[in-house]
Structure 1
Amino acid sequence: MSAAPNSAHPPFVLLHGGRHGGWCWKRVASALRQAGHMVYTPTLTGLGERSHLLNPDIGLDVHVQDLVATFEFEDIEDAVLVAHSYGGMVACGAMERISDRVRRIVFLDAHLPRTGESHSDLVGPTRAAEHVAMAERGGEGWYIPPSDASWYGVTDPDDAAWVNSRTTSQPLKTYQDPVGGTERAWSHPGMFIECVPSSLQPHILERARKRHAEDPAFPYRLLHATHDAMVTAPEAVTELLLEATTGG
């Protein structure tokens, strides 16, 4: 079914972060559909319900192609693309090929790389080394095992059990690979939502705040919620995403 342009109810493409899957958007996706929007929640190769495909060769380029293919095979146009956390790496890389299909890109506590940067570059050497150590300890040297839901700020027992039952391992290569061009992502109309307190490194937030100060098409919003806000504060996330359909 083609997602034809609809100025009042554009489709949403909700992209998850590291070690998550499309499942994490369940509550937000339901609310957006109730508001009249088509919603797509792709899962990147090797994660979530596609975890049976996990292998050492999965890199950032595979995940970029996953997102591009979603737009192409679903005929998605005029969409609001929402990227969470690591998903910002994927979305920025994919925008070089899908920017003409995207109305607005929303970064939900997400990484905002420049051309040639990797996730490891953005998190810094200490955290990058921790990822390598996690892979060495419990991931055969090439994948990062899941972290407890509390790492993402999920503390409600029922929510934590749900998240812990669905998070999966992340190929280390996806964090170490440099992204290709990101110029279109940086020049495209967008919005940045910082979850307070954010799990992102300060310089990531400084980038987004600087762009907001210089670019009126790039509003910056604070959301008093945990990093996994789509799980812990779905109503507030939905409200901000609906705001993004009209320019923020």
Structure 2
Amino acid sequence: MHRRTFHAAALGMLLGAVAPASKAALPTASAGSTIATRPKTFVLVHGAWYGGWCWDKVARALRAQGHNVTTPTCPGLGEQAHLLSKDISLTTFITSITNHIIYQDVSDVILVGSGFGGVVISGVADRIPHMIERLVFVDAMVLASGLSVFEAQPAAVTLKRQQQVETMGKGIAIPAPPVSSYGVMDKQTQAWLTARLTPHPVGTYQEKLVLNNPFGNGCPRVYVDCIASVFEPLVEVKKQLRNQKGWDWVELNTHHDPMITEPLVLANFLKTV
């Protein structure tokens, strides 16, 4: 596994210094090179309780650099919250993002998944690897085929969320955590976040991920480990991943949801992949 720490202030030095260690390693770029300047196509997939709206500042920063960016929302969340039902599953999410990419008529997609979105992009890569240039997991859940998120999380976390589904989620959704748990942010960002969080369809946590091909399906993959604070549901997952081959491992000094708490740092990093 190739590992490095990303510091926005040292971006130029970093790009000139890091060389690929495997198929999954990031490309080395120098000032004025084709890799550094060519427009890229990003599809940014949100995590639990979010929608495509959570990527707003990241998407604007990438578009300002000439990149193509889309931020789809999965059914039952964000502007699609009215579609919330017991029938929404992990397969629903994977199909939604797969269709989004197909109908956008794009190729060489840098497919980014944050948090729960890591499970979704894993399923998408299993279906349409020929359309994907690279997978980027931003402090994301990663499942082996045959496991569900509820099975992969610490048992205490899963039990708490299952209880919340029954007591507050009407049996179909996981209520959003309090905004105070999302990391350090100003009052304006807190208010913006509070107004947009929606309950998350529990079926997506219950259904097992089923892959028909090896994980990643041949797509180079990057794991972005956000190290500014600990996110309990991912502690064991990260320990297991660190021992696996095929990952380019990057440490980012941000909180679990950098698109909210440190969007420009995340955007600056994504421009380098």
1:210 aligns with 2:243: yes
Contact kept? 2:139, 2:225, Cα under 8 Å: yes
Deviation at 1:221, TM superposition (A): 1.1
Q: State whether residues 118 and 142 of structure 2, in contact with CA within 8 Å, keep that contact through their aligned partners in structure 1.
A: yes
State the 4+ residue runs in structure 1 displaced beyond 4 angstroms: none
Aligned to 1:164: 194
Deviates more, 1:143-152 or 1:10-19: 143-152
Q: Is the 8 A contact 2:129 2:218 kept in 1?
A: no
Contact 1:131 1:172 in 2 (8 A): no
Are 2:44 and 2:112, in contact at CA under 8 Å, matched by a contact in 1? yes
1:233 is aligned to 2:262: yes
Flag the 1:94–1:33 CA change in 2: closer, same or farther, 3 A. same
Match of residue 219 from structure 1:
248
Deviation at 1:184, TM superposition (A): 4.1
Match runs of 1:75-224 below 5 Å? 75-181=105-211, 183-185=214-216, 187-196=218-227, 197-199=229-231, 200-211=233-244, 214-215=245-246, 218-224=247-253
* CA distance in 2 between partners of 1:148 and 1:97 (Å): 35
Give the aligned partner of residue 21 of structure 2.
none
Q: TM-score, structure 1 length as denominator?
A: 0.90
Could you tell me whether the CA contact under 8 Å between 1:154 and 1:228 is conserved in 2? Answer: no
CA deviation after TM superposition for structure 1 residue 202, in Å: 2.1
Secondary structure (helix, strand or coil) at the match of 1:107 reads strand
Aligned partner of residue 271 in structure 2, secondary structure: helix
Measure, in 2, the Cα distance between the counterparts of 1:69 and 1:158: 34
Aligned partner of residue 70 in structure 1, secondary structure: helix
Q: Kindly state the Cα deviation for residue 155 of structure 1 after the two structures are TM-superposed.
A: 3.4
Which has more radius of gyration?
Answer: 2
Task: Report the secondary structure of 1:185's partner residue.
Answer: coil
1:171 CA displacement: 1.1
Q: Report the CA distance shift for 1:83/1:93 in structure 2 as closer, same or farther (over 3 A).
A: same
Aligned to 1:19: 49
Structure 1's unaligned 5+ residue stretches are 1-5
Secondary structure of the structure 2 residue equivalent to 1:219: strand
> What is the RMSD of the two structures over their aligned residues, measured on CA atoms?
1.6
